[in-house]
Amino acid sequence: MDINIGIEFRDYTLLKNFKYDDERVSTVTSREQQKTENSIEKCFDRYQQLKFLDPKIAKFHREEHQRFLESMLHRLPGNYECLDSSRPWCIYWILQAGHVLNFTFAPQTLDAVVQFLTKCRHPEGGFAGGPDQYPHLAPTYAAVNSLAMIGTPSAYRAINRDSLERFLFKVREPDGAFRMHVDGEIDIRGAYCAVSVAKLTNMPEQALKKLFDKTGDWIATCQTYEGGFSGTPDLEAHGGYTFCGIAALALLNEGYKCDQQQLLKWTLQRQMSYEGGFQGRTNKLVDGCYSFWVGATIPITQAIISNENNHKLVKTLFDVGALQEYILLCCQKPNGGLIDKPGKPQDLYHTCYTLTGVAIAQHAESALHPSVLGDPINELLPTHPLFNVPPQAVAQTTQYYEQLNQLYAANIKGNNISSENVSDNEDKEEAEAMTIEDETNPSSVSSDNS
């Protein structure tokens, strides 16, 4: 039986001592910080006034969030037109937020998602941000993660790993870096997205070795003097880029190539003493999305250090209760969806990363004994810290593609299965995938989002 480790809310009288002190030197930055703290103080005050009258005030508004996600999956409002080239991202944010809330979408809805993402797959490999657009590593990551979460045979077939591998080689640079698209910009997001989709689809070891030769070395050059990672060498450390850097190194088993202690120090300094949430850069404001980007970086870094020193990870070093408190009290909209900080509108991006950040905080030390703030009903389902999809989806997707690897090896070695005469790699993978479906109980490769 799972046992929740209860965490209490902080003492708000003592907490006021941690508010920002500008030392009588007012600047634009200090005024913005004080303005943000004042808006958060109102949330804390409201909780103190209503906690005995309204039990919902300290709980996740699950039904409202679920309705928000369901409606957004079926029809996006007009203000999302600017994300027309990021439609797989919208799907991913919805599915992943739904997962941690333990919300399952209807099978026919998920089938429609698979059909749409198949239209986003480019003939030359990878996924685009929408049908008939150019392939790009960012929506490729979002699409592969979404299909892995759905976890049906048709979802796996929609990925087409052979063409995906060809696309990754197209955007790879000789020094191990990756462009976001052909002739596009180079940054650390590209390296992470490439490593993530290659590892999640369990590409053969020989391909991985060629694909990510020197990639770990290039990522290490993006670590700054502060300890975090920047988008490219010699820029400012940033929470999102830092996650991409250390997660990619961890997936490549090359965490030793960065300064882990300095990285851990930098990430721990990003948690705000008063607000409880994380900032993304030095001297910036708190933002709910960094609950995941920075929150996941800390246990990943701790795990790398622990493994190298043969020590067991005993305790997460950031304040997991304070983070949950910020999200619960300051980042929920009454009509569903979550936000960056008080006063901001809800959106899919922040809904996903605030919730997955809480999931990380709750399960970082133990999946069996989650650390949950307040009522045990606030417990969210765990997420894989490196891929940010359900752990079950990672296990089932890699297992599926391991079967494909074995079938492909048998095809080459024995030259005795029906797909041997298929010359096109895409058709060959399709034939081999169909063979797996024929030989495997479908329930062993399907993923239940709940």
At 436, give phi and psi (nearest 5°): -60, -45
Catalytically annotated residues? 238, 281, 284, 287, 289-290, 340, 347, 350
User: Which pair of structure tokens corresponds to residue 16?
Assistant: 């006021």
Confidence of residue 445 (pLDDT cuts 50, 70, 90): very low
Q: Tell me the per-residue pLDDT of 158-205, one tens digit each, with 9 for 90 and over.
A: 999 999 999 999 999 999 999 999 999 999 999 999 999 999 999 999
Q: In this structure, what DSSP letter does residue 384 have?
A: -
Query: What integer pLDDT is reported at residue 449 of this predicted model?
Result: 39
Q: Which residues pair with 409 in a beta bridge?
A: none
pLDDT > 70? residue 439: no
Neighbours of 68 (CB within 10 A): 21
Helix (H, G, I), strand (E, B) or coil at 165: helix
Q: Tell me the per-residue pLDDT of 96-144, one tens digit each, with 9 for 90 and over.
A: 999 999 999 999 999 999 999 999 999 999 999 999 999 999 999 999 9
Question: Average of pLDDT values for 208-224?
Answer: 98
| 328 close to 373: Cβ distance less than 8 angstroms | yes
Query: What integer pLDDT is reported at residue 416 of this predicted model?
Result: 53
Q: Which residues contact 80 (CB under 8 A, 6 or more apart)?
A: 90
Query: What integer pLDDT is reported at residue 369 of this predicted model?
Result: 87
Question: Cα separation of 419 and 268, whole Å?
Answer: 53
Question: Average of pLDDT values for 399-414?
Answer: 86
Q: Which residues contact 213 (CB under 8 A, 6 or more apart)?
A: 176
Confidence of residue 447 (pLDDT cuts 50, 70, 90): very low
Q: Tell me the per-residue pLDDT of 266-301, one tens digit each, with 9 for 90 and over.
A: 999 999 999 999 999 999 999 999 999 999 999 999
